[in-house]
Structure formats: C-alpha cells, structure tokens
Structure 1
Amino acid sequence: MKTGEPVNEYFARTLTIVNKMKTNGENKTNAKVVSKILRSMTFKFNYVVCSIEESKDTSILTIDELQSSLLVHKQRINMSSLVEEAQALKISSMEQFGSRGRGRCS
C-alpha cells in the first residue's frame, strides 16, 4: 500500500492483480490474499492489523470483511483528526482574541 492511498483504491488494485494471477493458473486462496493485504498495510494501520489478527480468524476472513473493517478504522482515524484540528483551531482563535474561557468582570 502506498502512503496516503485510499483503502478502496488499494483493494481494487490488489484484487486486479489477484484476478490476473488466477487467470494465469495460480491458486491464490482468500486466506493468502487476506494475509498478504494485512502484511502490506502502511504503518498507520499497524494497530488495526494487530487488532484484526488477534480478534478474528484470518483463515476464514473474507476479503470484503477485511475491507469493511479497514474502512471503518480509516473513518475513525479521519474523525479523530478532524476533532483534533477543530480543537486546535478553537484554541488558536481563543488566543488570538485574548479569551481565556472565563467571563470578564467590569
């Protein structure tokens, strides 16, 4: 997987290669494909990969289930990034206007 590559694009590219290999007579089981996908994920997905490997039987995990699981985790990563960004913007705007979050006494 390339850094910054969307999960859906990575799966599409990978499954295209797997289908070509199957067309040429190679026997690639779903378990082998799932295993190779998990091994090739970027560093950002390390904790997700560990979680999937520990909580699920990867020998019976389908490619669709794996993709769904990775997409959900990616969405959570994106949401936490948005929350952090919003908090940073809030703090910087409070500093810019001199507010400390307290009411002013006259």
Structure 2
Amino acid sequence: MKETESIKDFNSRVAEIVNQIKSYGGKIQEKKLVEKMFQNLPKKFDHVVAAIEESKGLSVVTMNELMESLEAHEVG
C-alpha cells in the first residue's frame, strides 16, 4: 500500500488481483490474504494490526473485518 493511497483504493486493487488469480483457476486462502494485507500496510496502521492480532488473531479475522477496522481508523 502506498502512503497516499486510501484503504478503499488499496482494497479495490487487492480485490482486482485476487479476481485475476481466480480467473486463471488459482485459489487463495483468506488467511493468507489477510497476512499479505498486514504485511503491506504503512506504519501508521501498526497499532491497528497489533490490536487485531491480540484480540482475534490472524487465523480468525476475515477480510471484511480487517477492511472495516482499517477504514474506521483511517476516518477517525
């Protein structure tokens, strides 16, 4: 994710890539996708990532929950 990019734009870009993978017959697990999203967020989201990891853990959080949390942080 670029520092100047919004969460919605980042999510749209990721969704486009996932759709391309699926269109070629590939599969991607939601857990793996969430991990990749965490790895590519700017430093300003570190505390949000830490809170999610502590409260739910990576294996439980869904992409929708992740996006909602990140969008709430971005607005707030």
The normalised TM-score by structure 2 is 0.90
In 1, distance between residues paired with 2:46 and 2:27?
28
Q: Secondary structure at the match of 2:4?
A: coil
The residue that corresponds to 1:13 in the other structure is 13
Q: Write out aligned runs for 1:1-106 (5 A).
A: 1-76=1-76
Identity %: 37
Runs of 4+ in 1 over 2 A off after TM superposition: none
CA deviation after TM superposition for structure 1 residue 16, in Å = 0.5
Larger radius of gyration: 1
The normalised TM-score by structure 1 is 0.67
Structure 1 gap ranges (5+): 77-106
Figure out how many residues of one structure are paired with residues of the other and give that number: 76
Structure 2 gap ranges (5+): none
More relative contact order, 1 or 2 (CA 8 Å, 6+ apart): 2
CA deviation after TM superposition for structure 1 residue 14, in Å = 0.5
In 2, distance between residues paired with 1:24 and 1:59?
26
The residue that corresponds to 1:85 in the other structure is none
